[in-house]
Amino acid sequence: MRRKTVTSRSASISIAMTLFVFLFVGLSAGNATRVGDRAPDFTATDSNGRVHKLSEYQDKFVVLEWTNRGCPYTQKHYNSGNMQRLQREWTSRGVIWLTVISSAPGKQGYVKAAEENAYVKQVNAAPTAVLLDPTGVLGHLYNAKTTPHMFIIDAKGILIYNGAIDDRPTTDVADVNGARNYLSLALEEATSGKPVSTPTTRPYGCSVKYPD
Amino acid sequence: MICPATCGVRKRQIGMRLSRLRNAGLSLFACPALVLANATNGQEAESHARVELIAEEYTPHTGKPVWVGLVFHLDRGWHIYWQNPGDSGEPPKVQWELPPGWRAGAIRWPTPVKLGSGSVVDYGYESQVLLMAPIERAAATSNLLTSVEADVRYLVCQEICIPGKAHVTLTFPAAGVTPKRAPGRRSLFEQTRGQLPKPLPAGWKVSVTQQNDHLLLSVRASSQIRGATFFPLEAGQIENSAPQGFIMTKAGFRLALRMSDQLARPISALNGVLVLDSGRAFELTAPVISRR
């Protein structure tokens, strides 16, 4: 409700102000951006020390993937090679894939940059970058709840998917094959100019380990 | 294995774990109730949960439904999930294996607690919980209920989550054999029945209206209620982490529930459990009236 008011007001003010308001609302109210809304801009540092801004990826599709390597739901998709396969397929098709780690220092799943780079190599992951979000600011901005939790932002900066990676909310590797992969489905549709048929699902997994 | 001397039973358990020693306080429950009731249990060492299959009555030949239940003994700080796990996790899944002609009814889920704080909130159980279900004759069969087996898959979490599996077996004494009973079992079922949500008291009335991004749950109650919490049965309807605004009204009370930001489809009915500040819990179901 509060968000709606802010959104309509922001339409009449400058873009910079809009981004500020989105950021502010996202942080203060914990309201997630809804599918169809402009995705809030963010600045975050990756595991190689590079700073990424969402707005620098205008004209590209962007995937945000919340991850936690100790979580069995995440492990299902990495041990099976499913996540790496999706990362390779979609980045090769021009999609920016940002993996995000929002575990706080001292919390399960927190990693330092060097550890994460070693892990990426070890599991042969292929995201565009891994964003380190130990303060949880980015996680709260998108209201990421679980690992995995997937978001897709289209080339116009609109959030077009928010939810689960697929329709099998289990930890069983055997469930990867035959699952309906919502992420791929949405990307296939959106990149061929079609509306996303399933834009919102309930994400499943372990809770994101935000700071207390 | 710690077992009270009074128990005096022979037991056969596969996959016993050292960590069970830590559960000495629960050891009474860890003993099979009967000489003839064995719980077989193949579980991984570091699961932080131990699953046991027990029966309320060990005389299953009376024609009445037999109540059996899975007791989850959880290490301190660990939890499993309610039928709606909330924002993360998943509920235990049970596959019953019964003699031909018998079937298992639905699990009766005790009222859960809220787990976690901040922006991710789950619903589940800590410490110990009994998930009970009736075993009933499905057809005109002369088969005796000789045993009940269950394949259980569950997720147990502290900060980290671990998937667990258990295959548990319960063997009933043959007809005509008088079972010896150890204390604690019947009372566990009785105690758990006390934790099951009840139908709303006669005279109470519930209505739900949608106003913008909130569902207003109005309850006409026959006594003064000073606090209440709603647990939704369906995942993804309300924001689990949002505070539930409680106000007393002339006729009862009202709870404001923030609808999920990620609502996949409109909410036509609200189903769930209403827990009063007294701890009493009621089943609730009501159509949602939209008033924009």
Give the CATH number for residue B32.
Answer: 2.60.40.1250
- Which of B159, B194, B229 is where one domain is finished? B194
Q: ipTM of this model?
A: 0.82
Domain span at B42: 18-194
Q: How many other C-beta atoms can be found within 10 angstroms of the C-beta atom of residue B20?
A: 16
Cα B281 to its chain centre, rounded Å, is 13
Is B79 or B222 the better-scoring residue by pLDDT? B79
Query: What is the spatial distance between Cα A207 and Cα A144, in angstroms, rounded to a whole number?
Result: 9
Total domain count, chain B: 2
In this predicted structure, what is the pLDDT of residue B141? Answer: 76
Q: Report the pLDDT averaged over residues B194-219.
A: 96
Query: What is the spatial distance between Cα B160 and Cα A107, in angstroms, rounded to a whole number?
Result: 9
User: In the sheet that B66-74 helps form, which strands lie side by side, from edge to edge?
Assistant: B49-55, B66-74, B128-137, B102-104
Q: Which CATH architecture has domain A33-207?
A: 3-Layer(aba) Sandwich (3.40)
Residues B33 and B163 in one domain: yes
Tell if the CB–CB gap between A171 and B155 is shorter than 8 Å: yes
Question: B16: pLDDT confidence band, cut at 50, 70 and 90?
Answer: very low
Residue B32 scores a pLDDT above 90:
no
Query: What is the spatial distance between Cα A176 and Cα B268, in angstroms, rounded to a whole number?
Result: 32
Residues B216 and B175 in one domain: no
CATH for B223: 2.60.40
- pTM for this prediction: 0.83
Number of H helices, E strands in chain B: 2, 18
Tell if the CB–CB gap between B261 and A32 is shorter than 8 Å: yes
Residues of B in Cβ contact (< 8 Å) with A200? 262-264
Is B115 or A7 the better-scoring residue by pLDDT? B115
Q: Report the pLDDT averaged over residues B180-197.
A: 83
Domain boundaries defined on chain A: 1-31, 33-207
Nearest CA in chain A to B237: A202
User: How close A34 comes to chain B (CA, Å)?
Assistant: 6
Nearest CA in chain A to B262: A200
In this predicted structure, what is the pLDDT of residue B177? Answer: 72
CA angle, residues B236, B155, B162, in degrees to nearest 5: 125
Quick check: B290 and B211 in contact, CB under 8 A? no
Residue B68 scores a pLDDT above 80:
yes
DSSP B37: -
Cα A149 to its chain centre, rounded Å, is 6
Residues B39 and B105 in one domain: yes
Residues of A in Cβ contact (< 8 Å) with B214? 1
In this predicted structure, what is the pLDDT of residue B38? Answer: 34
Residues B142 and B255 in one domain: no
> Tokens 């294996």, residue?
B97
CB-based contacts of A28, cutoff 8 Å, min separation 6: none
DSSP B65: -
From B88, B235, B261, residue closest to A206, measured CB to CB: B88
Is B145 or A207 the better-scoring residue by pLDDT? A207
DSSP A157: S
Mark the ranges of chain A whose per-residue pLDDT is less than 50.
1-30
In this predicted structure, what is the pLDDT of residue A8? Answer: 41
Residues B137 and B273 in one domain: no
Residues B38 and B160 in one domain: yes
Question: B291: pLDDT confidence band, cut at 50, 70 and 90?
Answer: confident
CA-based torsion, A157, A162, A166, A170: positive or negative: positive
pLDDT tens-digit readout, B237-255 = 999 999 999 999 999 999 9
Percent of chain B clearing pLDDT 90 (strictly above):
65
In this predicted structure, what is the pLDDT of residue B261? Answer: 83
Residues B165 and B220 in one domain: no
Q: Beta strands B147-157 and B161-171: pairing type?
A: antiparallel
- Which of B162, B194, B226 is where one domain is finished? B194
Tell if the CB–CB gap between B88 and A107 is shorter than 8 Å: no
**Consecutive H or E run containing A89:** helix A82-92
In this predicted structure, what is the pLDDT of residue B71? Answer: 97
Residues of A in Cβ contact (< 8 Å) with B120? 145-146, 207-208, 210
Residue B47 scores a pLDDT above 80:
no
Q: How many other C-beta atoms can be found within 10 angstroms of the C-beta atom of residue B23?
A: 18
Single out the residue of A27, A26, A21 nearest to residue A9, CA to CA: A21
Chain A positions with Cβ closer than 8 Å to B: 1, 4, 30-32, 34, 70-73, 107-108, 140, 143, 145-146, 162-163, 169-172, 200-210, 212
Does residue A148 have a cis peptide bond before it, meaning omega lies within 30 degrees of 0?
yes
